Amino acid sequence: MGLNEILFAACAGLALATALAVVFTKRTQYAALFFVTHLMSLAAIYALLNAPVLAALQVMVYAGAVMVVFVFAIMILDADELEKLMPSQGEGVTVLVSGGLGLLLISAFFGFANRFKLAEALAPAAKAGSAGLAEGNIEALARLLYRGYLPAFELTGILLLVAVVGIMVMAKRKLD
């Protein structure tokens, strides 16, 4: 096992632990902080998976901008009021349902992997084809984003604009 595998296992463990902590902690602020840790460990995993640009974006956009908005929302909403909300009635049923859902998902994944011989179908690409993954990642990403995926990129820009305008409208006007 190389250094990468050990780092990957450590980050995976941290990501799982903080994900569970988000779901089972009582306080909303703690949930937000655990989620920041979760996002950071995912960013480290992205870096290990040859996606350094996405790791940086994950830290800046998710752990930075998005979580700041979350913490602002926690400040505006009454934190004490939020903490009074215990899990719903019939918690046992929902835990069973969601746990069963998770088990189903995992078994479906492994069943799928066995059925379609995923290990062979997912044979790793020849190293020659992986140029631009690790080194020159940002150039390769930009070339693809601004050429083949330009319509998607432009649409994302329009979506962000619409979101900004929508938030302005919602913040200005009081709902009836």
Partner 1 sequence: MLNIDFALTLATLIFSIGATGVLIRRDPLVMFICIEMMFNAANLALVALADHFGRIEGQVMVFIVIAVAAAEVAVGLAIIIAIFRTEKDVDVDAISALKG
Chain residues 74-103 in contact with partner 1, contact rule CB under 8 A: 74, 76-78, 81-83, 85-88, 91, 94-95, 97-99, 101-103
In this chain, which of 10, 116, 135, 164 binds partner 1, going by CB under 8 A? 164
Give the span between the Cα atoms of 111 and 29, in whole angstroms. 39
Cβ neighbours, 10 Å, residue 45: 19
Nearest-10 crossing angle of helices 137-146, 150-172: 80
Residues 12-51 that bind partner 1 (CB under 8 A): 12, 15-16, 19-20, 22-23, 28, 31-32, 35, 38-39, 42, 45-46, 48-51
Could you tell me if 172 and 165 are in contact, meaning their C-beta atoms sit under 8 angstroms apart?
no
In this chain, which of 6, 10, 73, 114 binds partner 1, going by CB under 8 A? 73
**Residue 116 makes contact with partner 1 by CB under 8 A:** no
Give the span between the Cα atoms of 73 and 85, in whole angstroms. 16
Least separation in angstroms between CB 176 and partner 1: 8
Instruction: Extract the runs of DSSP E, i.e. beta strands, from 55-169.
Output: none
**Residue 62 makes contact with partner 1 by CB under 8 A:** yes
**Residue 10 makes contact with partner 1 by CB under 8 A:** no
Could you tell me if 52 and 40 are in contact, meaning their C-beta atoms sit under 8 angstroms apart?
no
Least separation in angstroms between CB 1 and partner 1: 10
Cβ neighbours, 10 Å, residue 34: 19
Q: Is 18 exposed, middle or buried (0-12, 13-18, 19+ CB in 10 A)?
A: buried
101: part of which helix (H) or strand (E)?
helix 91-115
In this chain, which of 8, 14, 37, 56 binds partner 1, going by CB under 8 A? 8
Could you tell me if 18 and 35 are in contact, meaning their C-beta atoms sit under 8 angstroms apart?
yes
Least separation in angstroms between CB 77 and partner 1: 5
Residues 128-157 that bind partner 1 (CB under 8 A): 129-130, 132-133, 137, 140-141, 144-145, 149, 152-153, 156
Least separation in angstroms between CB 115 and partner 1: 15
